[in-house]
């Protein structure tokens, strides 16, 4: 089974070859259908088909690519959970891409009304397109179950002597490989939903229910599938801690329940030459048996080589897995060592800053303490001097009062009026001398202290 990474490949342009390979014919018809809807300008079609061909895009295409990358990166960064994901419950949308059918081998005079009436009994129809020149058509039914029933019942239907070929189209499906065994449908949906809306996605499993490391994703729009294939092919899209990038290819259905019926067989010389003989077992020792045995030996040789190749690839994968785990361990160790060094440098820097700050705080506290002590000592001395001065003034005033009282009592009792007048005059003279000589002079021999 071969897959082509380029989703928009135009590899099935040969109509005769498309008739032999139905899948190629479906792709060719789908491409022609899309081309018929595009503008008739040849240059515009070339620009749209070669969007990313021939180097880097220019102008608006580059800006659009940058916007797409930024949008996808933002959606990837918004994913914050990859374990214990809720069950995936995809509700089928009406007229989705999964219910789109290709109808081949039509008469050249068929019309859209005729196709619509033919499929109307299976459900609602939409997007009917008929190309009488190429004798094919497309139609979309409401749901996949109705489309499947219409495909099964109308396959090989004789329409005016032409047996219809009906198949599903998968324009927006991709095939994903190299998945880890721990990737589930839910994780796959969560990872690839960044490229666009998804209609269906599932992991392919074996008969025991184990993952084969492969999956199919069906997008709503073909552009989403194109972007996913382009981004995953140009870059390395990793889904888990395992460094296994996904491999995205174009999805090509490899089976069809209708198979290859007799009505589709071409009646040529090879057909009639091979059909001359009926089914039989070859007798040993005959010409037929010898060549049949050689064919079996060739297939056994192919089987042994494929088994050996798979075994070799398995051991290579195991070796790469072991190397990846060891490299991850070494990388994580180096990262932790660098983080530890940075933490130690930060701790040393913080320690130095704290010590400097502590010294500054101690110096400031010492200066404030010294200033407080100095101010307290000065204020205490001033208070002591004030108290002493107050006490002295009180003593002096008390002494003066007592002396004046004694003198007044003395003159009142024993002195004459003249003596008292003389005494008053002397007191007045003493007062004048007091004013002339200053406040610190006292005629009685005392120094007066001013507060």
pLDDT at 94: 86
* CA–CA–CA angle 13, 16, 19 (5° rounding): 95
pLDDT band at 15 (very low <50, low <70, confident <90, very high): very low
- Hey, where are the domains in the chain? 282-391
Both tokens of 273, joined, read 């030459």
Report whether pLDDT(64) > 50.
yes
Tell me the C-alpha distance between 128 and 115, whole Å. 8
Both tokens of 182, joined, read 């721990």
pLDDT at 39: 40
DSSP H or E stretch at residue 351 = helix 287-414
pLDDT at 308: 93
pLDDT band at 340 (very low <50, low <70, confident <90, very high): very high
Per DSSP, 94 falls in state: T
Report whether pLDDT(53) > 60.
no
Percentage, residues of the chain above pLDDT 70: 75
Q: What is the mean pLDDT of residues 237-245?
A: 87
Neighbours of 12 (CB within 10 A): 18
Tell me the C-alpha distance between 300 and 294, whole Å. 10
pLDDT tens for 371-391 read 877 777 777 777 778 787 888
pLDDT at 325: 87
Tell me the C-alpha distance between 146 and 140, whole Å. 10
pLDDT at 32: 43
pLDDT at 336: 93
Q: Are 19 and 104 in contact (CB under 8 A)?
A: no
pLDDT at 304: 93
Instruction: Give the bridge partners for 218, in sequence order.
Output: 173, 200
Report whether pLDDT(134) > 50.
yes
pLDDT band at 254 (very low <50, low <70, confident <90, very high): low
pLDDT tens for 176-235 read 999 988 999 999 999 999 999 998 889 999 988 899 999 999 898 888 999 999 999 998
Q: What is the mean pLDDT of residues 257-282?
A: 82
Q: How far is CA 336 from CA 50, 319, 333, 342, in A?
A: 47, 26, 5, 10
Report whether pLDDT(18) > 70.
no
pLDDT tens for 80-99 read 877 888 888 777 788 888 88
Tell me the C-alpha distance between 280 and 265, whole Å. 22
**Which of these ranges, 256-260, 340-344, 384-388, 423-427, has the smallest mean pLDDT?**
423-427
pLDDT tens for 271-290 read 888 888 888 888 898 988 89
DSSP H or E stretch at residue 139 = strand 136-141
pLDDT at 73: 84
Per DSSP, 238 falls in state: B
pLDDT at 52: 38
Q: Is the torsion defined by CA of 116, 121, 122, 125 positive or negative?
A: positive
Q: Is 330 helix (H, G, I), strand (E, B) or coil?
A: helix
Report whether pLDDT(431) > 60.
no
**Which of these ranges, 64-78, 111-125, 417-431, has the smallest mean pLDDT?**
417-431
Residue that has been written with the tokens 């007799």 in this structure: 262
Tell me the C-alpha distance between 215 and 198, whole Å. 13
Q: Is the torsion defined by CA of 271, 273, 278, 280 positive or negative?
A: negative
Both tokens of 381, joined, read 């001395």
φ, ψ dihedrals at 76, nearest 5°:
-65, -40
Q: Is 248 helix (H, G, I), strand (E, B) or coil?
A: strand
Mean pLDDT, rounded, of the chain: 77
Q: Is 218 helix (H, G, I), strand (E, B) or coil?
A: strand
Q: Are 102 and 168 in contact (CB under 8 A)?
A: yes
Residue that has been written with the tokens 């001013």 in this structure: 450
pLDDT tens for 357-373 read 988 988 888 888 888 77
pLDDT at 288: 86
């Amino acid at each position: 089974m071969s897959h082509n990474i380029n989703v928009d490949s135009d590899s099935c342009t040969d109509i005769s070859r498309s008739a032999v390979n139905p899948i190629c014919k479906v792709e060719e018809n789908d491409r022609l259908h899309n081309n018929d809807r595009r503008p008739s300008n040849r240059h515009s079609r070339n620009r749209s088909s070669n969007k990313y061909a021939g180097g880097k895009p220019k102008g608006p295409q580059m800006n659009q690519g940058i916007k797409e990358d930024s949008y996808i990166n933002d959606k990837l960064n918004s994913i914050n959970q990859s374990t214990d994901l809720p069950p995936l419950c995809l509700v089928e949308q009406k007229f989705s891409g999964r219910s789109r059918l290709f109808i081949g081998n039509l008469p050249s005079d068929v019309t859209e009304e005729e196709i619509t009436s033919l499929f109307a009994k299976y459900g609602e129809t939409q997007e009917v397109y008929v190309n009488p020149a190429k004798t094919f058509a497309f139609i979309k039914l409401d749901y996949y179950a109705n489309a499947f029933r219409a495909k099964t019942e109308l396959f090989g239907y004789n329409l005016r002597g032409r047996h219809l070929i009906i198949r599903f189209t998968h324009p927006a499906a991709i095939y994903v490989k190299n998945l880890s065994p721990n990737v589930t449908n839910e994780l796959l949906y969560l990872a690839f939903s960044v490229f666009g809306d998804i209609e269906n996605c599932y992991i392919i499993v074996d008969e025991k229910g184990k993952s084969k490391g492969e999956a199919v994703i069906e997008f709503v729009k073909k552009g989403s599938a194109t972007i996913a294939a382009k981004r995953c092919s140009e870059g390395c899209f990793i889904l888990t801690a395992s460094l296994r990038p996904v491999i995205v290819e174009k999805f090509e259905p490899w089976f069809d329940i209708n198979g290859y019926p007799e009505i589709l067989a071409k009646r040529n010389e090879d057909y009639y030459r091979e059909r001359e003989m009926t089914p039989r077992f070859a007798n040993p020792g005959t010409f037929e048996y010898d060549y049949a045995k050689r064919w079996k030996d060739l297939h056994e040789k192919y089987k042994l080589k494929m088994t050996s190749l798979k075994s070799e690839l398995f051991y290579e994968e195991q070796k790469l897995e072991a190397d990846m785990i060891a490299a991850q361990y070494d990388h994580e160790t180096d990262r932790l060592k660098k983080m530890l060094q940075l933490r130690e440098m930060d701790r040393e820097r913080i320690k130095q800053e704290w010590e400097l700050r502590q010294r500054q705080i101690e110096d400031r506290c010492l200066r404030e303490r010294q200033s407080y002590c100095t101010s307290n000592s000065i204020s205490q001395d001033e208070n002591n001097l004030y108290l002493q001065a107050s006490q002295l003034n009180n003593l002096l005033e008390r002494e003066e009062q007592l002396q004046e009282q004694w003198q007044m009592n003395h003159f009142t009792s024993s002195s004459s009026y003249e003596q008292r007048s003389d005494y008053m005059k002397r007191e007045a003279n003493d007062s004048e001398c007091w004013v002339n000589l200053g406040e610190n002079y006292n005629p009685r021999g005392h120094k007066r202290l001013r507060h």
